[in-house]
Amino acid sequence: MAETRQHKVHQKKLQELVKIMPYYVGEYVDDKLDTRSSSTLLNYVLDYKMFFEWLISEGITEAATIKEIPLSVLEKLKLDDAKNFFKYLQRRDIQVSKNETKKPEKISVNRKISALRSLFHYLTTQTENDEGEPYFYRNVMLKIEVNKVKETLGARASKISTKIFQNNDDASFLWFVRNQYEKNLPDGSRKRIFFKRDKERDLAILSLFLGSGIRVNELTNLRLKDLDFELNIISVIRKGGKKDTIPVVPEAMRDIRDYLDIRSERYKATNEDSDYVFISKGSTSPSPLANRSVESLVKKYTKAYKSNKSMSPHKLRHTYATNLMEETGDIHLLMRQLGHSSTSTAALYSNPDQEKAQEAARQLGLRRNQLNKD
């Protein structure tokens, strides 16, 4: 299984986090490492940390530290206490900006329920003490319901459509970055200097997102050997460490070629096959771009294009997917291009019922206007 830079970082963070966890959490992680990604396990253990900290703050355990929390606390945890933890999660305020807070998304709370269910299931069915019995039998988490997010496929598809580039806006956006963005920056400013240095790189990144639909992690892990300009394809590492090869819009490959023409000189980079494609200029040597850096630059350019609408790499992926579906109508091609295993996920980009409803509404509006004229 191929490992990305992000997975290696998460694996290291996971190892450090496990050190402050009770021994049984360490056993759980060790048992699941071969079947679940380090990224998933890291998120789970972060959820356990929040849960254990809550147990201590509420006086449900006498342990002074997370590491000291005994199995008996989980075994004897009252249903009301378990429910109160999830009420706490649902009702707490999350800071989104200096003057703004929001309540957690249901999907976030559901993930924490799933994480704790997984741990309790392991402790009550997949462990063994000296007597050959599970660590304990009573699983209070089985009594906690997952509050599924009730949303139709049409509603989800409609929500996506309001947050992506429509019609030819993706092409107009790339034109804006190529020809107009610099003009909006003050002469001699640091922003203008850095843009001129990074213009070809940033354009290549934006163009590749809109010309292939790859994920941000797939982009930041691209190596020079993964680019095939003859066939206009790239090799990527999908979720789960699976290797895949996908076609790219030729214009996007040309933008990458333009970037590579200046990459060595401008970033003092080598051209070894194993070198990362997208890099930043460090004080001593170049370093591969991090996911967060790519997310920031996408947000910066999309907000400059539409001042009230900054976007993420995932929204550029959605834009590509919608355009591909409109162009081909082939859901299986879409699944392969995006690395999806489920047609229900891919179907979000094709919503004929919504399109029919919109057309019907337009026709009814024309009819109303005609009657008003008469």
29-84 pLDDT tens trace? 999 998 888 889 999 999 999 999 999 999 999 999 999 999 999 999 999 999 99
Which of 181, 317, 318, 320 is labelled catalytic? 317
For residues 198 and 272, the answer to whether their CB atoms sit within 8 Å is no
Which of 239, 281, 300, 336 is labelled catalytic? 239
Structure tokens at 45: 């253990």
For residues 211 and 286, the answer to whether their CB atoms sit within 8 Å is no
Which of 32, 215, 263, 318 is labelled catalytic? 215
The predicted-structure confidence for 76-122, as pLDDT tens digits, reads as follows 999 999 999 999 999 988 877 777 888 888 888 999 999 999 999 99
Structure tokens at 36: 């679940």
Query: Catalytic annotation on 301?
Result: no
The CATH number that domain 154-357 falls under is 1.10.443.10
Q: What is the DSSP letter of 277?
A: S
Query: Catalytic annotation on 10?
Result: no
Torsion of CA 89, 90, 92, 96, to 10 degrees: 100
The amino acid that residue 108 corresponds to is S
Query: Catalytic annotation on 318?
Result: no
Structure tokens at 338: 């995006």
For residues 18 and 44, the answer to whether their CB atoms sit within 8 Å is no
For residues 266 and 274, the answer to whether their CB atoms sit within 8 Å is no
Query: Catalytic annotation on 317?
Result: yes
Query: Catalytic annotation on 373?
Result: no
Query: Catalytic annotation on 32?
Result: no
CATH 1.10.443.10 residue window(s) in the chain: 154-357
> Residue 133 — very low, low, confident or very high, per pLDDT cuts 50/70/90?
very high
